[in-house]
Amino acid sequence: MNSSLLPFGLVVCAVAGAVLWFWPTDAAATQPAPAPAASSSTTPEPQEAPALSARWTAPAAVQHPSPTEQKHMVKLPTGEWVKALNGAVDARITWPSDRPFSPIIGVERASDGKEWWVHADGTKSTTEMVYRSDLGRHDGLGQIANPVPPLPMEPEGGIPPRSGPGGPAAPGAGSGTAEEKKK
């Protein structure tokens, strides 16, 4: 009796497998796509990037904070102190010597949550706590991002051929063996 049910069971399994194989995976696959709405423009509208959160007020500056307050503040090149950003402790900002200091005009919060000071010349600076494996602990870090014009990747007209070591050989050089060159 068992052997007579075997072919019937195989047919049932094959039919079930065929139904599952050809069954649509989602409802959208069985319905036709809706006709596009009439529009004066055929290009899709660009998605707006999320705006950065900004406070366009300069942070309060202090002339002579107490030593306890100084641990959570940063000394600016003007001699004033401002509250450090991002919970930094004992952080320093070293302003580049080839640029005059630009006053802070506001604070900006990036999409990753990090706060940055925005300076009048477009420079951005921040402080944060960073783990330093050489010290085995977190340490206050200051960063400065100065705006600079982009550098060209290659000169106009392309890159000229190299001359000298590693460049193209001089006319008449490079042929023959070392013994022929000695002659």
66-100 per-position pLDDT tens digit: 999 999 999 999 999 999 999 999 999 999 888 89
Instruction: Copy the structure tokens of residue 42.
Output: 């055929």
At residue 159, the pLDDT reads: 74
At residue 28, the pLDDT reads: 47
Higher pLDDT, 32 or 158: 158
Res 143 pLDDT > 50? yes
Predicted TM-score (pTM) of this structure: 0.53
Higher pLDDT, 182 or 128: 128
At residue 120, the pLDDT reads: 92
